[in-house]
Structure formats: structure tokens, C-alpha cells
Amino acid sequence: MKINSPFRASLLLALFAVLFVAGCGKKPPIPPPPPPPTSNGGTTNNAPSGKPVVAEFTAEPSSIEAGQSAILRWSVSGASDISIDHGIGTVQGSGTSRVSPSITTTYTLTANGAAGSTTATATVRIVAPPPPPPPAPRNSGATAIGTVESRVSSLQDALFDYDSNNIRDDARAALTADADAIKRILIDFPSASVNVEGHCDERGSAEYNLGLGDRRASSARDFLVQLGVPGDRLKTISYGKERPVCTESTEGCWQRNRRAHFSAGQ
């Protein structure tokens, strides 16, 4: 339930009023004590008076990959001797120790005092390394593979509303992705150019659509140039409604045809 804030404010006010009236004639209750401090990443036994107090026992970082190391850090008071298992042995009241476990390991610190002993644990978790990055594309640099045509054919169309050359949000996303791809194509193929084709659905007149397609191609070209694609290597060409990608008289097909499409230039 959503409550608007004036209503919520008056509700709170009413609640306070009730509490105030209810509290009249009684002593306010004593607030409970705060909880004991805890150490980050470790567990600490509550130390009754007389027992040693482990103020801190942590592993930093608490997760490592196998072969890496973590730092154990501890701070203990009121203990006559302090030891940590897994081969670390007796240590001072506060200190650090670098550990490199090969599997997830929970370290236990034991502090003995006159009135008893206190233990605390800290765990170093071993995580799997992330997968390696994909191999670098072999065509980066001068040894380009593929053809301009195949690279250009994977660019996304930018779609338009009926009788409009405005770049919609979805076209903005498509063209933003296309801009990076086109820049790489133009670097890999220094003599290549890319045609920006403007297309329309079947409904407007063929003659008018030639002009509309020209606007769509120009809008897409201008958008790409804003993103740093060199304009002198983009060539606009309007096909109006002469080269539809599909021919059904449905909105789905009409939308596919209202597009800026890319082809390899000469």
C-alpha cells in the first residue's frame, strides 16, 4: 500500500500523540544495552569478564584464487598465550600473518587466559578463477579476415515510424552499435566505404518515398557521423519502396521495410 507523505506525516503524529498519552504517569523504560561489537569476517565468542577478549580476527581478502594469498589480522587482550591452527602456531596479542591456502580454510584462533579460553575463526575462501577472455580476433590489424560485404551485412537496420525520418530510441541503440562496427570496418579496409540505404514501406507513393528514403538515410548517416564515423566514407542512397525486404501487407513487414540499411560501397 502506498501512502502519500502528508497522510503518513499525520499518521506518525497521531501515533506519537497516542504514545505520549499512554506514557503519562509512568516512567519511561530504560533502553536496552547496545549489542557487543563484532569483528568483520570473523566470529568472536562473547568473553565473560576474566576470559581473554578477541577484538578482531579477520581474513583480508576473505576470498582468493588458489595460489594467491590473504592476510589474517587479529587483536586479542587478556590472554596469556594465543595460537592459530593450520601451522601458524603461537602469536602475539595483535599481529598479521600472510597465508596461501590451496583450498578453502577456516582458521581458529585460541586465546588462553587465567579465567578460561576464547576462540574465534576466520575463513579464507578459495574461488575458481574467471574464465579466460575470448581469443583476440585474428583480423585485428593488417591481417583482416572476411570481406567488407560480410562485415557490413551483420550491421543492424535502424527502423523508423511511418512517414518519419526521426531516429527512435531503438534505432539510436542499433546505430550506436553499428558506429563502432563501421569504424572497425573502415580501419580494417582502408579503401572501403559503406552505403547507408533509406527504405520505405509500400504504402506511400513511390515518388514521395524516394524523398523520404533519402531523409532516412541522411538521418542515419548524420547520427553515425556524430559518433565519430568519418562522413566522407558513408554514402547515402534512397531506394524509396523499390527494394523491400519483405512484401506482405502487414504492419510487421511494413516496419521491417521502414529502415536504414547498410551495404558495402564500391
Partner 1 sequence: MIRKTVLIAFVLLAALSAVVLFAQDITGWIKGGGGKPALAVPDFRGSGAAQPLMASFNSTLFTDLDKSGCFDMRAKSLYPLNNPQSPQDLRPEDNNQGYALQDWAGSPVTASHLVFGYAAAVNGALAIYGNVYDARVQSIPSAQLMAQHYAGGLDEAGAVRTAHEFSADIIQKFCGGTGSLLGSRIYFVSNRSGSDEIWAMDWDGNNQKPLTNLHSLSIMPAVSPDGTRVAFTSYGKSTPHIVMIDSQTGRNLPFYNQEASLNANVTFTPDGKQIYYASSAAGLEQIFAAGLNGQGFRRISHRSDIEAEPKIDPKNPNILLLVSSASGQEQIYSMNAEGGDFQRVTNGEGEASNPSWNPDGQHIAFSWTRGYAKGDWNVFVMDIASRQYIQLTHSEGRNENPTWAPDGRHISFASTRGGRSQIYTMLADGTQVTQLTRQGANRMPVWGTK
**Is 225 among the residues that bind partner 1 (CB under 8 A)?**
no
Q: Which of 44, 121, 236, 257 binds partner 1 (CB under 8 A)?
A: 236
Cβ of residue 193: shortest distance to partner 1, in angstroms? 11
**Is 237 among the residues that bind partner 1 (CB under 8 A)?**
yes
Instruction: Return the number of the residue (184 or 215) whose C-beta is nearest partner 1.
Output: 215
**Is 205 among the residues that bind partner 1 (CB under 8 A)?**
yes
Buried b or exposed e, range 90-125, using 16+ CB within 10 angstroms: ebeeeeeeebebeeebebebbbbbeeebbbbbbbbe
Element (DSSP H or E) covering residue 179: helix 169-188
Cβ of residue 165: shortest distance to partner 1, in angstroms? 9
**Is 183 among the residues that bind partner 1 (CB under 8 A)?**
no
**Is 208 among the residues that bind partner 1 (CB under 8 A)?**
yes
Q: How many CB atoms lie within 10 A of CB 144?
A: 18
Please give the Cα distance from 155 to 171 (Å, whole number).
12
Cβ of residue 242: shortest distance to partner 1, in angstroms? 6
- Give the CA diameter of the chain: 100
Stretch that binds partner 1, among 15-23, 74-82, 105-113, 206-214 (CB under 8 A): 206-214
Angle at alpha carbon of residue 258, lines to 252 and 264, rounded to 5°: 120
Question: Quick check: 175 and 168 in contact, CB under 8 A?
Answer: no
Three-state DSSP at 246 gives coil
Q: Which of 112, 202, 225, 233 binds partner 1 (CB under 8 A)?
A: 202
Size of the site for partner 1 (CB under 8 A): 27
x/- contact string, 142-181, with partner 1 (CB under 8 A)? --------------------xx------------------
Question: Quick check: 158 and 260 in contact, CB under 8 A?
Answer: yes
Listed residue (219, 261, 228) closest to 244, CA to CA: 261
Question: Quick check: 126 and 104 in contact, CB under 8 A?
Answer: yes
Listed residue (87, 93, 84) closest to 54, CA to CA: 93
**Is 203 among the residues that bind partner 1 (CB under 8 A)?**
yes
Cβ of residue 228: shortest distance to partner 1, in angstroms? 21
Cβ of residue 240: shortest distance to partner 1, in angstroms? 8
Instruction: Return the number of the residue (157 or 197) whose C-beta is nearest partner 1.
Output: 197
Residue ranges that bind partner 1, judged by CB under 8 A: 162-163, 195, 201-208, 210-212, 214-215, 217-218, 235-239, 242-243, 249, 266
